[in-house]
């Protein structure tokens, strides 16, 4: 990415940040052409963003900002103040601005379209606690699976209006490649924390885990909205262990390095599973009279 592209994105983020400071909040999306950029609250990122969960997301993205939900994270309840919501949105804005800078520059998006894209990507990450707000102008609260699904569909429609079918496909390819790179980087960092890897071994291992999902597909259990049984959990663990064994069989890692990868993958799976259980439990509690 050249310096001009970097400078343009810095200016763009700065302009969006000013919108947060001026108290503008996005309340209605009619189409990508008349999407109004209005944010409410101050921009000081004193609170780290709490990840919003959308049923289709891989947890590698969905839970990377929080290991657990707040104690009052129950569907149908207002979990945060308007100031905290603004801080979370601004935190996500910083994240997506950095993460998608290459995509924006490579796609040659005009400044106004790039700004709308960043806003939609922030909306996407806030769907779990803004579903009713994004679809009907209601209050921010933890949404039901139906509200989340409706908000996600609306977000996808707005992205299609903005980028076109080819642009959406390119965005999804970018997301997949980014997530694969992130998984690879984290796994390698965990392994090399125990024992360094030779350059050739590192490259081959990185290639060998390109399709590995450390969450074990736990996010798929959010949509049904019922507790994960012991049998289901054990089946997930067994399948995850099978995939880990397959990766290690094809690798050139020594015993210490293999043990480090096993521990990392188990820790990641447990963290993701716990996150999903908390989401399901919060939604079940909210439905009780």
28-58 pLDDT per residue, tens: 333 333 333 333 333 333 333 333 333 333 3
Q: Is 273 exposed, middle or buried (0-12, 13-18, 19+ CB in 10 A)?
A: buried
**What would the mean pLDDT of 215-236 be, rounded to a whole number?**
88
CB atoms within 10 A of CB 270: 13
Q: Is the Cβ–Cβ distance between 52 and 129 less than 8 Å?
A: yes
The DSSP bridge partners found for residue 261 are none
The whole-model pTM stands at: 0.59
The DSSP bridge partners found for residue 39 are 25
Q: Which of 21-35, 97-111, 150-164 has the lowest mean pLDDT?
A: 21-35
Provide the pLDDT for residue 106. Answer: 86
Provide the pLDDT for residue 79. Answer: 59
Average pLDDT, the chain: 75
Q: Mind giving me the DSSP string for 206-226?
A: HHHTTT--TTTTGGGGTTT-S
Number of Cα atoms under 13 Å in the Cβ half of residue 26: 29
**What would the mean pLDDT of 253-263 be, rounded to a whole number?**
96
Q: What is d(CA 195, CA 160) in angstroms, rounded to the nearest whole number? A: 46
Q: Mind giving me the DSSP string for the chain?
A: --HHHHHHHHHHHHHHHHHHHTT-B----S-TTS----B-S-----SPPPPP--TTS-HHHHTTT-SS--TT--BTS--S-HHHHHHHHHHHHHHHHHHTHHHHHHHT--HHHHHHHHHHHHHHHHHHHHHHHHHHS----BPPHHHHHHHHHHHHHHHHHHHHHHHHHHHHHHHHHHHHHHHHHHHHHHHHTTS---HHHHHHHHHHTTT--TTTTGGGGTTT-SPPPHHHHHHHHHHHHHHHHHHHHTS---HHHHHHHHHHHHHHHHHHHHHHHHHHHHHHHHH--
The DSSP bridge partners found for residue 142 are 75
**What would the mean pLDDT of 201-211 be, rounded to a whole number?**
92
Q: What is d(CA 228, CA 116) in angstroms, rounded to the nearest whole number? A: 38
Q: Is the Cβ–Cβ distance between 66 and 273 less than 8 Å?
A: no
Provide the pLDDT for residue 52. Answer: 38
Q: What is d(CA 93, CA 235) in angstroms, rounded to the nearest whole number? A: 37
Pick the closest to residue 107 from 157, 174, 158 (CA basis).
Answer: 174
């Amino acid at each position: 990415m050249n310096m001009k592209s970097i400078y343009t994105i810095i200016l763009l983020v700065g302009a969006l940040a000013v919108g947060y400071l001026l108290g503008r909040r996005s309340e209605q999306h009619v189409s990508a052409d008349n999407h109004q950029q209005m944010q409410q609250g101050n921009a000081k990122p004193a609170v780290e963003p709490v990840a919003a969960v959308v049923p289709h997301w891989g947890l590698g993205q969905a839970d990377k900002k929080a290991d657990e939900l707040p104690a009052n994270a129950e569907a149908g309840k207002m979990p945060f103040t308007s100031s905290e919501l603004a801080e979370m949105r601004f935190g996500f804005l910083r994240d997506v601005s950095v993460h998608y800078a290459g995509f924006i520059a490579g796609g040659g998006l005009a400044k106004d379209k790039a700004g709308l894209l960043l806003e939609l990507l922030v909306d996407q990450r806030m769907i779990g606690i803004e579903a009713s707000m994004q679809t009907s102008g209601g209050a921010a609260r933890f949404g039901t699976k139906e509200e989340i699904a409706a908000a996600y569909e609306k977000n996808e429609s707005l992205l299609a209006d903005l980028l076109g079918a080819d642009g959406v496909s390119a965005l999804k390819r970018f997301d997949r490649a980014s997530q694969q790179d992130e998984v690879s980087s984290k796994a390698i960092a965990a392994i090399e924390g125990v024992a360094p890897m030779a350059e050739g071994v590192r490259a081959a291992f990185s290639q060998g885990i390109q399709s590995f999902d450390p969450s074990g597909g736990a996010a798929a259990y959010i949509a049904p909205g019922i507790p994960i049984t012991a049998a289901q959990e054990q089946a997930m663990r067994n399948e995850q262990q099978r995939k880990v064994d397959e990766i290690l069989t094809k690798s050139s890692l020594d015993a210490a390095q293999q043990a480090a990868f096993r521990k990392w993958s188990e820790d990641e799976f447990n963290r993701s599973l716990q996150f999903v259980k908390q989401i399901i439990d919060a939604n079940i509690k909210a439905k009780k009279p």
